Structure 1
């Protein structure tokens, strides 16, 4: 019987050790899982920070490039204005060639419709017109230009504006 008791005690001790060892392993796994969760969260936050920093750097870079090139383009556009007013073939050819060069670099002439948009048009003169309900472009004075969607110079236009009826007193 003593042997049987020893075997039972030995098995009980073994089971107890296994239970203790399993508890330790489970506790370590829990700690590893918690640390892994923390590291995953840290990784995601740093990845988002990197994306934000990259977007800010790109925006600053684009802004710096625009600030650097905008005065140059403004001057070039003034040359285009002078060339555009001449009708001889040579001057017209130079005008088209310069515009093509600028166009290939992202400069585009603002397309004008009859609808006035203050973000891309500058009204240099206005006339009252009782037959309209909204501001309408009637004539382009100087072409406007954009660079990659940003206005370098707004299109200068003459507009008709609706006549506002004055309230009777």
Structure 2
């Protein structure tokens, strides 16, 4: 009887040990499953983090390119405003240039008419031409047009156009001897250079 009880106890102990081993195996299996899930989760988190970093870098690059484009556009717009302002100022400053260019041949003809010999018969006509000529010059002067002084001055290629040369030792070299046609300036711009004869 004692043997039967011992056998029963052994069987019970063996069953309990088996159950404990099965329980341990279940715990180990669960731990392995959890570890695998954690590894998978960590890999997924790492992939998501890497993807986020790449997206951030891409957005940063796009932002930098947009900023540079904006800076260039702002600079171009500032240059456009400055250029437009200068053009408007030049237009205002030299607005009468076209009119002056149209009037210069008429003024030249007045000067030729004033070179004729005056007689008693032509005196009144001469006085009238002189008066109109002076009015024209005054009107041009009011718009900033000035006659270029040439005769006796040193030759300046910016305002003089030499068409003849002479050799006269009594006059300094490179000096304008005679003005053949008057030159005109509008403010600081040469409208027409003086046509001159220059000493070598």
TM-score for the superposition, normalised by structure 1: 0.54
Q: Say if 2:159 is the partner of 1:120.
A: yes
Q: Which has the higher strand share?
A: 1
Matched length: 152
Trace 1:23-42 onto structure 2 (pairs within 5 A).
34=64, 37-38=67-68, 40-42=70-72
- Structure 1 residue aligned with 2:138: 100
TM-score, with normalisation over the residues of structure 2?
A: 0.48
Q: Which runs of 5+ in 1 are unaligned?
A: 1-25, 162-169
Indicate how the Cα distance of structure 1 residues 34 and 157 shifts in structure 2: closer, same or farther if over 3 A, else same.
closer
Cα distance in 2 between the residues matched to 1:120 and 1:151: 7
Offset at 1:105? 2.4
Point out the structure with the larger helix share. Answer: 2
Of 186, 189, 197, the residue aligned with 1:147 is 186
1:1-169 matched pairs, under 5 angstroms: 34=64, 37-38=67-68, 40-51=70-81, 54=84, 68-69=98-99, 71-85=101-115, 88-112=126-150, 113-130=152-169, 134-161=173-200
Partners of 2:177 and 2:199 within 8 A in 1: yes
Gaps of 5+ in 2: 1-55, 117-124
Cα RMSD (Å):
4.9
How far the C-alpha of 1:94 sits from its partner, in A, is 2.0
